[in-house]
A and B are shown apart, each in its own frame.
Chain A
């Protein structure tokens, strides 16, 4: 009796898991499956690739460098030393109308927003509107945490301090008639940044929150609460341009969204009035403006379409090679 019970206790369970008999899917990679499979995958990829490529080609992109390095450049005059409040005009014409919403970007190159020290040089608590951090910014902001008078800088840090401050006005020149093209600056920043990550202190008016012994960033001409004089709601840390700048670029040549042109750009001559403030020549940088529309697949990107086409045609090619090999040697059924 006792022995039987003991045996039962010691006997291992007879389950699929303990006996390592779990069901397994074992693909039999025979020629009959692999060759049609490759053809199908290849054709699907080529299809996607063609669609992507054509869509990408239909997207219009217009790009102008306005750094002003060359003498004939309209902004050459603004590059000189100690030129303040310089405005230059960039004239261009559009032969093919930009349909749909046109996006207006500014671009910087050789600009390393991804420097490690630079990229952490901000105080997230401060930018969340926490007033206690207005008085004692995080050490990561150094050397832009306190000014020479030991007053705390709000918003602190290298990123905020180096905020892009060129402004643009786009005019449609129709003969002698100059129309200002309306630029929409709403909703150009990330939703999460605008609604969650960045917040203004809940003190009204906003000015009072900043005035208590804080100073504006050293390179700024206006304090944070006066970034947008036209729209009082677009100030402080939730200013759209500020938010766009604060999201650092991953690569040294980057674009950032400046404005949206909802009605598109019809054929015609245009003049872009640039108020040239941002110095880039000291680090061999370049500044440019870009106009682009988008499609269902996003912006212009031929790489993705080409990648799909290459992989697709490789699949088809491989299936042909395999078919030839298979036909030539007529492998007996694999065992």
Chain B
């Protein structure tokens, strides 16, 4: 069953559809889908049944369909048209809307599927349509073209076998990313050469992670053993990305059509439902009960009343033969259904449509808000879903990311320290190191030569140990930064702003990183000489290791490994160097809220280097568990460091971040900061942003101070009023894990939650992205079921944004992933204040009034009919925006869904019944045996209320419309449109 396993775990792609030489491996023909993208939901044939099925899955639609069918089948007081027409209208409008959207999708699919693609066949370039592409085809893509499917880069027009790609349409990052061709094929220049390639690619089956790819290319040369090369995400060009700054490339298709990573990421987000919608459903159930009991009461009373023979069938109202023969039970049942139909309007038909319309149109107020428009970005707030508008007024917990959210993520190099000597660059210094003047901690008194050596190594390390690219054109989109005196046309681009800040800081200290050319990194040192280092390996940064390394060969032939990373990940691996001095400086910087990195190096002998190469290549070639193997290899290589020094980069707070946090606090919200940063830095940011005040007593629950044994004591010995909690990722997982293992003895989860609830602010540092989501989930699932809001800017916040009730993305510098996955996207953190305190407040009040008003209106409408059965047989905001912003505590008024609680609901319902009684009996007494017109005609003679246009009914109904409409502006706030809306809803 081995073949089966291979089939499941990986796929073999035959480049150019050539079979491998016999005996290499069994030729298993695999079937792949063609390159057709289908984003549409319906086809011409299944549109009507499928769309109807989906619409009637909504309870409200189904209910009205049921009422409509009852009206069709039995003889009821109202004609089927009365419920059929609105239902038909709603269904048709929705169907037309969905049909139109689908038609647009069809059109878009069509244009994508039919766009021309150049394919190499028999050594010639043949033009075909995109949807005819097959896995294994060799594709030619030219500059500024979009990749038609997921491709493995074989060769590029650039001599170093790289190509530049922008993935803006995939993840919003507009910076150029470099992709690499397979070494053995990068020399191919012409179609004929590419076509002569005989190779297979083995890779994993398609999966949606954009940044993960594991594969292997086997190149067969004449009668030699095949050469295997590793393939990673850096070789995989994704569908949807665009080729930039490269004339053309040759690449082979590995995933096509619906199996491309872009298509796999189409999956829609799970639907979030607001608390208002939930309580709306609860109210509906109550009304359904009222409806059923009304119908039952009426049916019972009908038969009780008809008990006396003179009432059952008076001579003037004989039954038909048919009716007489019908069985009593069937008669009673049809009567019951008829009463149900008569009173069915107590459940508002138009409510769902109106609420949806209100939300949809209302959401434009967020997009229209000028105060939430950011000049710098040129963009305002975005609304990705309008379902959660009112939830913005209900938030109790705010989970915020630190970097890029609370802080600007605009890094500035502040200082560095080599062995305890501090170097501070000045903006105006041109290649002058002001080291001696600004050295603060001159603890070191070692000979100058030694110091000089470390200094050189330190600056070189920072110039070499990074993944920064140099862009030499102005026209490139992306993050432009830095002042480029002398060389205004080049600037640095990187996915990490820290790195750019460091390289730029180095430039100001006299060491300029020039470029990476043919695997040689060029540095212009302070003596204006160009130094060249051969780049051998890059040990990429990852959030678990929290460090990155490069292995370079200097011009003198030395092998050097430079590593930079978080202090906690560097210090344990250091064997020599001025650890104490550097550590002291790092801690001091961290307290000041600076981001610190430590730099270390290791000299490798030829033998050590070969060993390291062996480890790395083996891990890179692995098809399974590659991540894990790479981590192991890195662990072996990154050891026995010599500590060089540390750097400090400042990440400034976003403007008005402190003011926003203070307002949220006053509004009764609990603000938690969840960050991957280290505790000291995060705590400093918290103080700066007034999350912690000087008076706040801080409880620390970190690995450094608390071991698991003492966790229990700390958690139980807490009693204080205003305190903040700091917890780190490791402790947090210990808290949560302890619960799972020993559920009986110590339920830390509950105690932890209890403490958190009493804290005014909580800071969670050293968090992995998934842990952020776990925290949100933990709070969501706690007893009170509070409404949570998560706000973040980076890809690492996506999980928490998706988990929280309301997810807000900041259009930040780390790409647009968070904004894309969020429910609302805002340009800056400060906009959160208006979003919650003003928009949230308004939306909540509006929707609450609307829903209650709907029920009130329907009670008023239906109750007179119920009573009748016994006799027949403007634009004001209640609080202005400024007040709301000035006084955040007003937010507490509407917390906990206060306007939609049962007492309020009861109030509205009773008001509805009361008004209905007044209307009915008012009209009843007025009409009681009196002439009403001056020509003596009796108005009372002309009534049948169920049919609408007869006098008694008309009068009651008219009074009702007036009262119900005027009750709105007088008692409540909604907005100018509400009266027209409600009048429309009534009729």
A interface residues (Cβ-Cβ under 8 A, vs B): 3, 6-7, 10-14, 18-26, 101, 103, 105, 107, 111-112, 114-119, 121, 142-144, 158, 161-162, 187-190, 244, 247-257, 260, 279, 282-284, 292, 294, 296, 298-301, 303-304, 307
Q: Please tell me if the beta carbons of A252 and B871 are within 8 angstroms of each other in the complex.
A: yes
A to B CB contacts below 8 Å, 12 in the list: A13-B368, A23-B875, A24-B875, A158-B318, A247-B941, A254-B940, A254-B941, A255-B938, A292-B931, A298-B932, A299-B930, A301-B926
B925 within 8 A of A: yes
A41 CB to closest chain B CB, in angstroms?
14
Q: Is the CB of A12 within 8 A of B367?
A: yes
Interface residues on B, range: 35 or more
Interface of B, secondary structure class, is loop
Please indicate the chain B residues that have their CB under 8 angstroms from the CB of A257 in the complex. 931, 936-938, 941
- Whether B944 pairs with A119 at a CB distance below 8 angstroms is yes
B314-354 interface code vs A (CB 8 A; 1 in, 0 out) = 11111111000000000000000000000000000000000
B74 is an interface residue with CB less than 8 A from chain A: no
Q: Which residue of B lies closest to A299 (CB)?
A: B931
Judge whether B934 is part of the interface by a CB distance below 8 angstroms: yes
In the complex, besides A18-B365, A279-B315, 13 extra interface pairs with C-beta distance below 8 angstroms are: A25-B875, A26-B876, A115-B873, A116-B946, A143-B318, A161-B316, A249-B943, A250-B951, A251-B871, A251-B872, A257-B937, A301-B928, A301-B930
Inter-chain contacts of A116 with B (CB < 8 A): 77, 872, 946
Q: Quick one: which of A12, A247, A299 contacts B932, CB cutoff 8 A?
A: A299
Distance of A266 Cα from B944 Cα, bound (Å): 38
Q: Is the CB of A118 within 8 A of B317?
A: yes
A325 to chain B, nearest CB (A): 22
Q: Tell me the bound Cα distance from A161 to B316 in angstroms.
A: 7
Chain A residues whose C-beta falls within 8 Å of the C-beta of B874 in the assembled complex: 24-25
Residue ID in chain A nearest B969 by CB atoms: A25
Q: Which residues 466-514 of B sit at the A interface, judged by CB distance below 8 A?
A: none
Whose C-beta in chain B lies nearest to the C-beta of A11? B373
**Inside 8 A of A251's CB, which chain B residues have their CB?**
871-872, 924, 927-928, 940, 943, 952
Q: Is the CB of B931 within 8 A of A294?
A: yes
Known interface pairs A112-B873, A298-B933; A7-B924 also in contact (CB < 8 Å)? no
Q: Are A114 and B944 within 8 A (Cβ)? A: yes
Closest to B324 in A: A143
Q: Is the CB–CB distance between A283 and B320 below 8 Å?
A: no
> Are B942 and A248 in contact, with the CB atoms below 8 A?
yes
- Bound CA–CA A318/B942 (angstroms): 39
Give the top 3 A-B pairs by smallest Cβ distance, nearest first: A250-B943, A299-B931, A162-B316
Is there a chain A Cβ closer than 8 Å to B385's Cβ? no
Q: How far is the CB of B614 from chain A (nearest CB, A)?
A: 51
A284 to B309, CA, bound (A): 10
Could you say which residues of chain A place their CB within 8 Å of the CB of B317?
112, 115, 117-118, 121, 158, 162
Contact of B881 among A10, A20, A115 (CB under 8 A): A20
Question: Is B929's CB under 8 angstroms from A255's CB?
Answer: yes
Chain A residue nearest in CB terms to B366: A12
**Set of chain B residues within 8 Å of A244, measured between Cβ atoms:** 941
Which of A114, A121, A253 has the most chain B CB atoms inside 10 A of its CB?
A114
The docked-state distance in angstroms from the alpha carbon of A162 to that of B926 is 27
Determine if B943 and A12 form an interchain contact, defined as CB atoms under 8 angstroms apart.
Answer: no
Inter-chain CA distance A247–B944, complex, in Å, is: 9
Cβ-defined contact, A118 with B925, below 8 A: no
A260 to B872, CA, bound (A): 29
| Max chain A C-beta neighbours (<10 A), residue from B370, B380, B945 | B370
B320 neighbours in A (Cβ, 8 Å): 142-143
Cα distance A333–B316 in the bound complex, in angstroms: 69
With A105-B938, A254-B940 known to touch, is A25 a contact of B369 (CB < 8 Å)?
no
Interchain nearest-CB distance for A184 vs B (Å): 11
B511 → chain A closest CB, angstroms: 33
Q: For A187, what are the chain B residues with a Cβ–Cβ distance below 8 Å?
A: 935
Q: A1 → chain B, closest Cβ, in Å?
A: 13
A contact residues around B930 at 8 Å (CB): 298-301
Question: CB distance B380 to A12 under 8 Å?
Answer: yes
Interface string of B33-69 (1 = CB under 8 A from A): 0000000000000000000000000000000000000
CB neighbours (8 Å) of A253 from chain B are 929
Contacts of A115 in B (CB 8 A): 317, 872-873
Looking across the interface, which residue of chain A has its beta carbon closest to that of B365? A20
User: Which residues on the A side are within 8 Å of B315 (C-beta)?
Assistant: 162, 279, 282-283
Evaluate contact between B872 and A114: CB separation under 8 angstroms. yes
Residue of A nearest to B922 (CB): A307
Complex alpha-carbon distance, A3 and B377, angstroms: 10
Asked whether, in the complex, the Cβ of B937 is within 8 Å of the Cβ of A11, the reply is no
- Which residue of chain A lies nearest to B932 when distances are taken between CB atoms in the complex? A298
Task: Decide if B876 touches A20 in the complex (CB within 8 Å).
Answer: no
Write the B848-881 contact mask toward A (1 if CB under 8 angstroms, else 0). Answer: 0000000000000000000000011111110001
In this complex, what residue of A is CB-closest to B876? A24
State in angstroms the CA–CA spacing of A182 and B934 once bound together: 20
- Asked if A248 and B943 sit within 8 Å, CB to CB, the answer is yes
Chain B residues closer than 8 Å to A121, beta-carbon distance = 317
In the complex, A13 Cα to B364 Cα: how many Å?
12
Q: Which residue of B lies closest to A105 (CB)?
A: B938
Q: Choose among A11, A284, A299 the residue with the greatest number of B CB atoms under 10 Å from its CB.
A: A299
Interface 0/1 of B166-178, CB less than 8 Å to A: 0000000000000
- The answer to whether A25 and B924 touch (CB under 8 A), given A282-B314, A298-B930, is no
On whether the beta carbons of A256 and B938 are closer than 8 Å, the reply is: yes
A249-B314 in contact (CB<8A): no
Which A residues are CB-close (under 8 A) to B946? 116
B950 at interface (Cβ–Cβ under 8 A)? yes
Contact partner of B321 (CB less than 8 A), chosen from A12, A26, A105, A143, is: A143
- Tell me the residues in window 132-189 of chain B with beta carbons closer than 8 Å to chain A beta carbons: none
Could you mark each residue 876-892 of chain B with 1 if its beta carbon is under 8 Å from any beta carbon of chain A, else 0? 11000100000000000
Give chain A nearest CB distance to B980 CB in angstroms: 14
| Alpha-carbon separation in the docked complex, A7 to B364 (Å) | 18
Tell me the bound Cα distance from A304 to B379 in angstroms. Answer: 62
Residues of B within 8 A of A112 (CB): 311, 314, 317, 872-873
> With an 8 A cutoff between CB atoms, is B744 at the interface?
no
Given contacts A105-B938, A115-B317, whether A252 and B872 have CB atoms under 8 Å apart is yes
**Given A118-B317, A250-B943, A282-B314, A107-B926 contact (CB < 8 Å):** no
B362 CB to closest chain A CB (Å) equals 10
- Determine the residue in chain B with the shortest Cβ distance to A295: B934
Within 8 A of A (CB), among B193-250: none
Given that A11-B373, A251-B871 are contacting pairs, would A303 and B926 also be in contact in the complex, using a CB cutoff of 8 Å? yes
Neighbouring A residues of B873 by C-beta, 8 Å: 112, 114-115, 252
- Tell me the nearest residue of chain A to B375, going by C-beta: A7
- Chain A residues within 8 Å of B871, by CB: 114, 250-252
Decide if B976 is an interface residue (CB 8 Å cutoff).
yes
Q: Is the CB of B944 within 8 A of A7?
A: no
Contacts of B953 in A (CB 8 A): 250
Q: Are B378 and A7 in contact (CB under 8 A)?
A: yes
Q: Does B719 contact A (CB under 8 A)?
A: no
In the complex, which residues of chain B have a beta carbon less than 8 angstroms from the beta carbon of A24?
A: 874-877
Q: Does B527 contact A (CB under 8 A)?
A: no
Determine whether the beta carbon of A12 is less than 8 Å from that of B936: no
A18–B943 touching, CB < 8 Å: no
List residues of chain B with CB within 8 A of the CB of A256.
Answer: 938, 941
What distance in Å separates the Cβ of A9 from its nearest Cβ neighbour in chain B? 9
Please, how many angstroms separate the alpha-carbon atoms of A273 and B932 in the complex? 28
Q: Is B741 in contact with chain A by the CB < 8 A criterion?
A: no
The complex places the Cα of A246 from the Cα of B950 at a distance, in Å, of: 13
Q: Which of these, A12, A117, A279, A304, contacts B370 with CB under 8 Å?
A: A12
Nearest residue, chain B, Cβ from A142: B320
- Docked CA distance A190–B941 (Å): 10
Determine if A250 and B316 form an interchain contact, defined as CB atoms under 8 angstroms apart: no
Nearest CB of B to A225, in Å:
23
For residue B309, give the distance in angstroms from its CB to the closest CB of chain A. Answer: 9
Does residue B559 face the partner (Cβ distance < 8 Å to A)? no
- Report the minimal beta-carbon distance from B602 to chain A, rounded to whole angstroms: 46
Asked if residues A250 and B927 are in contact (CB atoms below 8 Å), the reply is yes
